[in-house]
Structure 1
Amino acid sequence: MDITSLKTVLLVQTRGSIAAASRVLDLDPSSVSRIVATVEAELGIRLFQRTTRRLTVTEEGQAYLQRLAPLIDEMDAAKEEAQRHRLQPTGLLRMTASVAFCDQMIIPVLPDFQKRFPEITIDLQSCDRNLDLVENEIDLAVRLAPTPQGDLISTRLVQTHYRVVASPDYLKAKQAIKDPTDLAAHNCLRFALPGLQNSWCFQKGDAAPFEIDVSGNLLISNALGLRKAACMGQGIAILADWLIQRDLKEGKLIELFPDHHCSITDFETSAWALYPNRSYLPRKVRVMIDFLRESLGAKVLAATA
């Protein structure tokens, strides 16, 4: 049996149905079904139990496919390794990141990436929801979080910090703010996302961290909107340093608590590259991770200089 057929049965297992696998392969479902049947006939075992409503992996199929997957990955890796000094990485690279991170950090550095790797086509999906990488056929996600949990492989790209800021016009019109506890008397601009709406975290030096309850009349689902509202004087916001460094330098925003660590969830937050948990990492993904680590690190250093 050929490798293409073996990859097809693995795809059927991953996608959970012949119909889903056929959409990925751009084949008729009957063609995929025949490939599966041919592999089963050659093996002499049934890989899948198929009914009109569902497909499940048999016990024999599970044992076989578990051993097959790393072998296929290793063969792909060996082929790529043999070609790496002769060929540029190629193919479609599907990525996702938050709307603000795409706008401020990824899109500005893509021209340099495309000069280095002109044979890679990038499909960048900016979305403030955490898309399922397998279901949406995404090769690489960039997410802002503490150490990621789950079965995805992660690597840190750059550490991030948060600042509590407001515009000069807002501060002129309101009573003075000297301490995080003063936020209770102010209009705070909040993320319209679960778990990020009602409290901000602070820590001064080595003292114990503490939370402050915040409230306000405007919730926005992405950081770009919050930044704009803060610059317009609509309230106080907590935003990532990479998003507001220029605003701070130009005086459009003022940092309120420079002697405090500030956060919405966790003080140790970073931008992470995440990819599906598998032994073989395609070269197109590897070069993008290396590029982002290099270029984003330089970008953050330049912004803070």
Structure 2
Amino acid sequence: MNLDDLKTLLLVRDQGGFAAAARTLDLNPASVSRRVAEIEAGLGLRIFQRSTRRFSVTEAGEAFLTRLAPLLDEFDAALGSAETLSTDPGGTLRMTTSVSFGHEVVMPLLGGFHAAYPGIRVELILSDSNLDLVRDRIDLALRLAPAPAGALISSRILTARYRVVASPAYLQQNPAPARPEDLAHHPALRFPLPGFRDRWMFRDTAGRVTEVPVDGWLICSNALSLRRAALDGLGVALLTDWLVGQSLRDGTLIDLFPQLEVTATGFESGIWALYPTKAYLPQRVRLMIDFIRREAGRAAV
């Protein structure tokens, strides 16, 4: 039994079965199942309970894997630190994120990342659809969400704040809303997503939350296009700070409710790094996550 065997056990648990783990490892599910059985025999411990209908982790197996995971994390971190100091990281990093976040945040950072790690090739897949990381062989996904759900491993790299904005030209033609309820008299530029398209939420400094119904003639699935519509004076828009920060600084967009927190889903939204499992986290993935967290956070200050 070696480190790869132990990582295989964690991978099977994190992926929820032998078939999903086999896809990550590019192996036959039967071979992964056989190898796990051999590991269990060597340990004298049943880690997984199998049947034709159900897969689960045994109580003893969960206790073992819970203690094992941080030990392997520490080993990988120590190895990664040593590799960074002693070798030039390499390989191809396949990562995905939304079109808007990729365009506004990731692309401006790639030149600096390449200068720091010239041996790493980056394959960036911009898509507003959530790709299947295992099926599409994605090493890293960056997603905007209140908190990711599911079996993927996640780590928050940035906090996201939403703002309700409009252009000066729009406000010259329409009275600025004095309170959130006044948005009922303004055309909202909306995403075709639950919450975003029909009601926005506001929270004041006392923690009181107000839900405001919104409506409008334009619904668009792309955040860059909604920002363009807001800049063109077509209405008011609910957009993230990393998308409208420069426009707010140069005055081409106005924050209508700077004293309030705003959201359409949850007030703790952020940009999350998602990857299939900690057990097989390449060094290049760790380096990209740390680089974006550091550099994007510095740019936001």
TM-score class, shorter: 0.7 to 0.9
1:225-240 to structure 2, matched below 5 A, reads 225-240=225-240
Partner of residue 244, structure 2: 244
Residues 80 and 238 of structure 1, relative CA distance in 2, 3 Å threshold: closer
Deviation at 1:107, TM superposition (A): 1.5
AA partner of residue 184 (structure 1) = A
The answer for the alignment partner of 1:177 in structure 2 is 176
Q: Which secondary structure state, in structure 2, belongs to the residue aligned with residue 73 of structure 1?
A: helix
Partner of 1:25: 25
- Partner in structure 2 of residue 217 of structure 1: 217
Query: Where does structure 2 lack aligned partners over 5 or more consecutive residues?
Result: none
Which residue in the other structure is 2:5 paired with? 5
Task: Verify the 8 A CA contact 2:157 2:292 in the aligned structure 1.
Answer: no
1:157 equivalenced with 2:134 (yes/no): no
Question: For the pair shown, which has the larger CA radius of gyration, 1 or 2?
Answer: 1
Counterparts of 1:134-145 in structure 2, within 5 Å, are 140-144=140-144
How many equivalent pairs are there?
297
Contact persistence 1:188–1:235 (CA under 8 A) = yes
Q: Compute the TM-score of the two structures, normalised by the length of structure 2.
A: 0.75
Task: Give 1:164's aligned amino acid.
Answer: V
- For the 8 Å contact 1:165–1:238, the answer to whether it is kept is no
Distance 1:219 1:85, change over 3 A: same
Q: How does 1:72-91 map to 2 (within 5 A)?
A: 72-91=72-91
Q: CA deviation at 1:227?
A: 1.5
Residue 15 of structure 1: aligned partner: 15
Give the aligned partner of residue 187 of structure 2.
187
Could you tell me how far apart the structure 1 residues matched to 2:203 and 2:48 are?
55
Provide the identity percentage: 43
Q: Per-residue deviation at 1:35?
A: 1.7
Question: Post-superposition shift, 1:215?
Answer: 1.3
Structure 2 counterparts to residues 264-283 of structure 1, below 5 A = 264-265=263-264, 271-274=270-273, 283=283
Structure 1 range deviating more: 117-126 or 22-31: 117-126
Q: How has the CA–CA distance of structure 1 residues 269 and 222 changed in structure 2, closer, same or farther, with 3 Å as cutoff? A: farther
Secondary structure in structure 2 of the residue aligned to 1:176: coil
Q: Distance in 1 between matches of 2:248 and 2:48?
A: 59
1:12 positional shift: 2.4
Q: 2:39 and 2:268 mapped to 1: Cα distance?
A: 47
Q: Which residue of 2 aligns with 1:68?
A: 68
2:2, 2:237 → 1: CA distance?
Answer: 57
Question: Match of 1:106?
Answer: 106
| 1:128 CA drift (Å) | 4.5
In 1, Cα distance between the equivalents of 2:63 and 2:201?
A: 48
Distance 1:233 1:86, change over 3 A: same
Instruction: Determine helix, strand or coil for the equivalent of 2:243.
Output: helix
Cα distance in structure 2, aligned partners of 1:87 and 1:242: 34
Deviation at 1:104, TM superposition (A): 0.9
Q: 1:55 to 1:116 in 2, by over 3 A?
A: same
Deviations 1:132-188 (A, max 9, x none): 878987665544466x487966445366451421462x556x543352444322211
Amino acid at match of 1:157: L
Q: TM-score, normalised by structure 1?
A: 0.74
User: Mind listing any 5+ residue stretches in structure 1 that lack a counterpart?
Assistant: none
Describe the SS at the equivalent of 1:68.
Answer: helix
Moved more, 130-139 or 85-94: 130-139
Distance 2:91 2:69 in 1: 21
Question: Residue 77 of structure 1: SS of its match in structure 2?
Answer: helix
* Native 8 Å contact 1:73 1:280 kept in 2: no
Matched residue of 2:238: which SS? Answer: strand
